[in-house]
Each structure stands twice: as C-alpha cells, then as structure tokens.
Structure 1
Amino acid sequence: MLLLSRSNFLNGMYVVMIIRKHFFIIATLITPWLVLPPVSAMDKGWFNTFTDNVAETWRQPEHYDLYVPAITWHARFAYDKEKTDRYNERPWGVGFGQSRWDDKGNWHGLYMMAFKDSFNKWEPIGGYGWEKTWRPLEDDHFRLGLGFTAGVTARDNWHYIPVPVLLPLASIGYGSATFQMTYIPGSYNNGNVYFAWMRFQF
C-alpha cells in the first residue's frame, strides 16, 4: 500500500512538472495575442476576431473549469490489431481552465490538461477552444456544441517537442457538466483517435 501511494505521489509530481514546463511554452505563444490593441469591428478579420476572443477569455472569465479525461479510442479500421491490443485507451489525467459564454451564447475556453497517451506516457495539451452552441429544448440548461480547438501538445515519443494542434470539438452538456470530445485524424496506424473528457464548470 505504501509503495502504491508513493508511486501515485511520484506520478502526480511528474504531471505537475510537465504542466509547469509546457504551460510556460503555451503562455509564451499566446501572450502576444493578449496584449494586442483592440481593433474596431469594421477592421476585424478572422485572425483579429480569434485573438480578441482569446484575450477576452483570458482577462474576463465567467467560470473556472475542471477537466477529467474519460476515453481514447483508436479507430479499429485504421490500425493493425496487434497495435490496438497494446495501446492504452484509459487516459488518466486532469486539467484546469477558464471559460465564458459570449452574447450569442457560444462557448470560449482556455485550458491545460495532462493525460496518459496511447503508450501510457504523460501528454500535456493546452490551448483555446470555441464552440457554436445550440439549446434545442425548452430547458435551456441542455445544450449541444460544435467548434474547434487550437493549441499545443507534446509527447514522449516526440521527445516532448511542442507541436501545434488544430482539432474539431463537439459536446453535449447539461447545467455545469459537459461531455466534450475531439477526433485526431491521421493515416493507417497513426492518428485516427477519438478522445473525450468531462468538463465541470464552476
């Protein structure tokens, strides 16, 4: 029992070290966006809109979020069976973020997560997410979302070199709980992974 507790403690410390290391990298990448001067609505292009949304989410969050990775699934049609048999599909980890809803009811979030990847190694990821949100029922606590995330990740098998990512997002939520997901495209025996997590809003 003591060995298990010590192992969990060391794993936890390792996750904290990875998050601290790569949070600096992510912060370095997004800081220029946060200090850009405001641009009038008429002059805004897509990039200025994007950076303004990132900056506003950073400066004026409405909520703080807890992320709990739930599942990874390697598309069986895109992998040899011997690979999927040995890959990890339980991405233990945790993440934190901050978010807001804009005047159109759409979601914006900044986040940082660390989880166990396909090889059971720690993988950090952080960035900005946006979702167009629909509330199709009379109960407006229920919602559906579709959007994207742009950020940076790093993997053990890539020697933890930061790699930019641009991925789709989708979600279904009720109240403060949201089941959010993405799909990592790829080629045969590479990529083609479904990744999902719970997001709890405070």
Structure 2
Amino acid sequence: MVGLFGTTLSAHASFTGTIKDGYNTLSNNIAQTWDEPQNYDLYVPAITWHARFAYDKEKTDKYNERPWGAGFGISRWDDKGNWHGIYLMAFKDSFNKWEPIGGYGWEATWRPLADDNFHLGLGYTIGVTARDNWNYIPVPVALPMASIGYGPATFQMTYIPGTYNNGNVYFAWLRFQF
C-alpha cells in the first residue's frame, strides 16, 4: 500500500512539474516576443467558411463568409526557427458584426525546400475574443493554427470546432511581416 501511495505522489509531482514547466515556457515566450520583437505584422482577414456538413443550408445562406477587417501584431523567430506572435485583430463575423480577437500564437516552422523563404507552420493560438451575439463578453480561446508562407507573406488559418449549427468554422488570414 505504501508503494502504491508513493507512486501516486511521484506521478502527481511529475504532472505538476510538467504543467509548471509548460506555463513557464509559455510565459517566457510571450514576454520575449513582447520585449524583443523582430517584426511588425499586418493581419488581413481573408475567409470564413462554415463547414456545410455541420449546418442547415438556411443558416449558411445567411452567414457572412467575407471577414472584412484588419489587425496588427509583433513577432519573432526563435533560435529553432519557430514563429511567435502577439496580435490584435478585428473582423466582421458570421453575422456581419465586428469581432475583436487578441492573443499569442506559436508555430513550429518547417522549411522543406532548398529555398528557405518557403515555410510551413503548425501550432496554436491562445487569446480572448468577444462577439455581438454574446453581448461582447470576453471569451478565452485556444485553437489550432497552421500556415503556408513565402518570405514575409504568410497565409495562416485555424478551425473553430463546434456542434451542429454552431462553430465548425474555418477562418484564415494573411499576415505580412515588416
């Protein structure tokens, strides 16, 4: 019984340590991106697409899928070649109402061609958004992110999961680094 209890405590300590390490890495990356940006970024929302298999046609026929808007951010590339960014963007949502979003994004970046300007990314974004149909109450978000880019121009995207007639939205934007 003592061996089992000791193993449980050890596993708990290991899990707690992993969470602390992850939080410290995240905090340090955000702070370094804020304190030492290498680029200024312009964000231009490009497309919103509601997954047709997850919606009634009457709903998708009424939704806005042209998310007009813009955003600004700062970013850096770390010593592993991965991208870190802090951003604030506003765009027209599915109901054609303004939706702000701000947060931090990270992508592991691959340069699979001899031309290092071409890059692919896969990562996440965490932040806060607010919507008209939620009375602009701030809502935390944690979403997957992917990208394809060449030089200072990158096409980034995410998928907002959901239920039937809610969520299940592909959202993409262009990011230009200066």
**Aligned to 1:188, what secondary structure does the other structure show?**
coil
Distance across 2 between alignment mates of 1:176 and 1:50: 24
Asked if 1:46 is matched to 2:22, the reply is: yes
Deviation at 1:162, TM superposition (A): 0.2
- 1:180 maps to 156
**Offset, 1:99:** 0.1
Would you tell me which structure has more strand in proportion to its own residues? Answer: 2
Counting helix residues as a fraction of each chain, which structure ranks higher?
1
Q: Which amino acid aligns with 1:105?
A: G
Match of 1:123 among 99, 106, 114: 99
Q: 1:166 maps to which residue?
A: 142
Which consecutive unaligned segments of at least 5 residues does structure 1 have? 1-43
Report the Cα distance in structure 2 between the residues aligned to 1:186 and 1:51, rounded to whole angstroms.
Answer: 28
Structure 2 Cα separation of the partners of residues 173 and 103 of structure 1: 19
- CA distance in 2 between partners of 1:176 and 1:46 (Å): 29
Aligned mates of 1:182, 1:59 — CA distance in 2:
26
**Displacement of 1:76 after TM fit?**
0.1
- Whole-angstrom distance in 2 between the partners of 1:169 and 1:108: 12
Cα distance between partner residues in 2 of 1:56 and 1:128: 12
Aligned counterpart, 1:18: none
* Equivalent residues, number: 159
| Aligned ranges 1:147-158 → 2 under 5 Å | 147-158=123-134
1:66 aligns with 2:46: no
Which digits, 9 at most, give the CA deviation of each residue in 1:5-31, with x for residues without a partner? xxxxxxxxxxxxxxxxxxxxxxxxxxx
Corresponding residue number in structure 2 for 1:197: 173
Do structure 1's residue 87 and structure 2's residue 60 form an aligned pair? Answer: no
Calculate the TM-score normalised by the size of structure 2.
Answer: 0.89
Compute the RMSD of aligned alpha carbons.
Answer: 0.6
In the TM superposition, residue 124 of structure 1 has moved relative to its aligned partner by 0.1
Question: 5+ residue gaps in structure 2?
Answer: 1-19
